[in-house]
Amino acid sequence: MEKVGGLIARRIQALYPLADFSQVGVLVGPGHNGGDALVVARELYHQGYQVRVCCPLSQSKPLTTEHAQYVQSLGIPISDQVDGLVGCDLLVDGLFGFGLERTVTGAISDLIHQVNQWPLPVVSIDLPSGLHTDCGAVLGAAIQATHTFCLGLWKLGLLQDQGLGYIGQVELLDFDIPQTDITAVLGSVPPIQRITASSALFPLPLDRHPNTHKYRQGQCLLIGGSQRYPGSILLAALGARASGIGLLSVALPASLKPLLLQAVPEAIVYGCPETTTGAIQCLPPDLALDRFDTLAYGPGVTTETTLVLEQVLACDCPLVLDADGLNLLAQQDVPLALQSRSAATVLTPHPGEFQRLFPPSNAAEYGPDHSPVQQAQAAAQRSGAVVVLKGARTIIAEPGGKIWINPESSAALARGGSGDVLTGLLGGLIAQGHPLDFDGLAAKACSAVWWHAQAGLRAAQSQTELGVDPFTLSQGLVPTLALLAPQAD
């Protein structure tokens, strides 16, 4: 507690210097989170800050009580009324933090709502009070933090969509938990992991043998497009191009060939017979699917016919399904359709598509009482596919039960077409590593999701979140990788 309190106090001094934030209010709860907050209060007081403490709950754990007595002995004012913190320049939230499971109600709920109305920065210890540690759900009421200092190990609730409006900027404060203790609790490989830059870069085909050629760098076939959605397959092709794929092939309605070739002239294009509304009716008879290292099916295809879906499901190579490819699949028994495949499958649904594929009414594990992490894990295990559940914090689940979460992304990606770019990028990356087991496939999915998100973040910095259209995103993929990848000597 002393170590953690000192680390937090030093970060507060760096972010909120005494000259500008001299008045600090500290909210103290009954548990050890409150004890941490009291150490922070004491350390800031010693550095010259004027500190006021609010302990709205009368009972506390023995160690927290001892720290409160120490703080009071220094002359720091302690009250049970939050009004005593009015006029502060900064608030430190140490009410509940880690482990809260009950709903916040009554006077404490009113206190939190009152604090959230104050126009001042708020620093939360471990995670904002009122958030569920594991899923990030608001338990009745929650502090809206400006900064959250997560202690020791990442809390799962900070990495999921539900809590993102409350956590502000998040930092991990490492206080040297022994690795033997971590392993004893979580095992050598935790079932849920964050995607990091190093883990995302490792599977990427950044280095090529000097004697390689295009056939050794993978062959990917994208299938999609229609008169209604002509740009979807083009965006997917631009994503695949950025992956460095050796040979890119695209099957699309014949009338869209000129559009595709104008933007991606290196692609091998297969014009497909069309329905009366301009969707793909069937694949050309000379198109042998089994010769490709990866297929990606779905962007812009519409749901007029299931014939092409049946063909790609029967193919003996890794398959990425997205968009209307998922909606067509949802019309079938999904686990049965996928587990009969001889090759691996990757599903890339957004939440609406996920609910159609794995409806809560048919499987309790997909219901609203379960977090997106639990839902994705159950879906991967039942379907035998790698599931990429897209969202503000995208989740990757593989059939063996392992989960990865991408901890950084940008609201700039909340635009139609961004997912098409990801589909092409993922298809191109998977093709450059065939054959792959589920761990390898999930690793490529993690790389694609991370790279795609980093490109969105970087583009938003220069063009604002409003200015990052999917084409701009696709053009920023390679420059982003050049910036982030380690430089060769």
Residues 281 and 388 in one domain: yes
pLDDT value, residue 366: 58
Residues 399 and 272 in one domain: yes
**What long-range pairs does 370-379 form, CB within 8 A, spacing at least 24?**
371/134, 371/135, 371/136, 371/137, 371/160, 371/162, 372/135, 372/160, 372/161, 373/135, 373/156, 373/160, 373/192, 373/397, 373/403, 373/405, 376/403, 377/401, 377/403, 379/347, 379/354
Q: What share of the chain is helix, strand, coil (3-state, %, to 5)?
A: 45, 15, 40
Is residue 488 over pLDDT 60?
no
Residues 99 and 204 in one domain: no
- Provide, rounded to the nearest whole percent, the portion of the chain with pLDDT above 70: 97
Q: Which residues contact 117 (CB under 8 A, 6 or more apart)?
A: none
Looking at the structure of the chain, the number of domains it has is: 2
Residues 182 and 326 in one domain: no
* CATH (domain of 351): 3.40.1190.20
Q: How long a stretch of residues is the chain?
A: 489
Tens-digit pLDDT profile for residues 252-281:
999 999 999 999 999 999 999 999 999 999
SS3 210: coil
Is residue 13 over pLDDT 60?
yes
Residue 105 placed within a domain: yes
Record the tokens describing residue 107, joined without a space: 């006077």
Tens-digit pLDDT profile for residues 350-360:
999 999 999 87
Of 139, 164, 186, the last residue of a domain is 186
Residue 127 placed within a domain: yes
Residue 14 placed within a domain: yes
Residues 133 and 260 in one domain: no
What does the alpha-carbon distance between residue 17 and residue 328 come to, in Å, rounded to a whole number? 57
Q: What count of Cα atoms within 13 Å lies in the side-chain half-sphere of residue 175?
A: 15
Residues 327 and 437 in one domain: yes
Residue 143's pLDDT band, with cuts at 50, 70 and 90, is very high
Run of H or E residues at 201: helix 197-201
Residue 191 placed within a domain: no
Q: Which of 136, 91, 87 is nearest to 112 (CA)?
A: 91
Of 121, 155, 186, the last residue of a domain is 186
Task: Classify each residue of 181-194 as buried b or exposed e, where b means 16 or more C-beta atoms within 10 Å of its C-beta.
Answer: eeeeeeeeeeebbb
Residues 106 and 201 in one domain: no
Is residue 363 over pLDDT 70?
no
Residues 44 and 84 in one domain: yes
* pTM score above 0.85: yes
pLDDT value, residue 489: 37
SS3 404: strand
**Side chain identity at 122, as an amino acid letter?**
V
| Higher per-residue confidence, 177 vs 342 | 342
pLDDT value, residue 365: 60
Q: Which residues contact 326 (CB under 8 A, 6 or more apart)?
A: 298, 347, 348, 349, 353, 356, 357
Tens-digit pLDDT profile for residues 288-335:
999 999 999 999 999 999 999 999 999 999 999 999 999 999 999 999
Residue 192 placed within a domain: no
Do residues 108 and 130 make contact, with C-beta atoms less than 8 angstroms apart?
Answer: no
Residue 391 placed within a domain: yes
Residue 231's pLDDT band, with cuts at 50, 70 and 90, is very high
Residue 102 placed within a domain: yes
Residues 223 and 129 in one domain: no
Residue 489 placed within a domain: no
Of 186, 221, 248, the last residue of a domain is 186
Do residues 196 and 274 make contact, with C-beta atoms less than 8 angstroms apart?
Answer: no
Residues 318 and 442 in one domain: yes
Domain of 314 in residue numbering reads as 197-484
Mean pLDDT of the chain: 92
Residues 287 and 153 in one domain: no
What does the alpha-carbon distance between residue 192 and residue 405 come to, in Å, rounded to a whole number? 8
Q: Which of 396, 414, 402, 488 is nearest to 450 (CA)?
A: 396
pLDDT value, residue 215: 87
Give residue 434's region: left, alpha or beta (phi > 0; psi -120 to 50).
Answer: beta
Question: What's the Cα-to-Cα distance from 361 to each of 166, 216, 302, 366, 383, rounded to whole Å?
Answer: 31, 46, 25, 8, 17
Residues 154 and 222 in one domain: no
SS3 302: coil
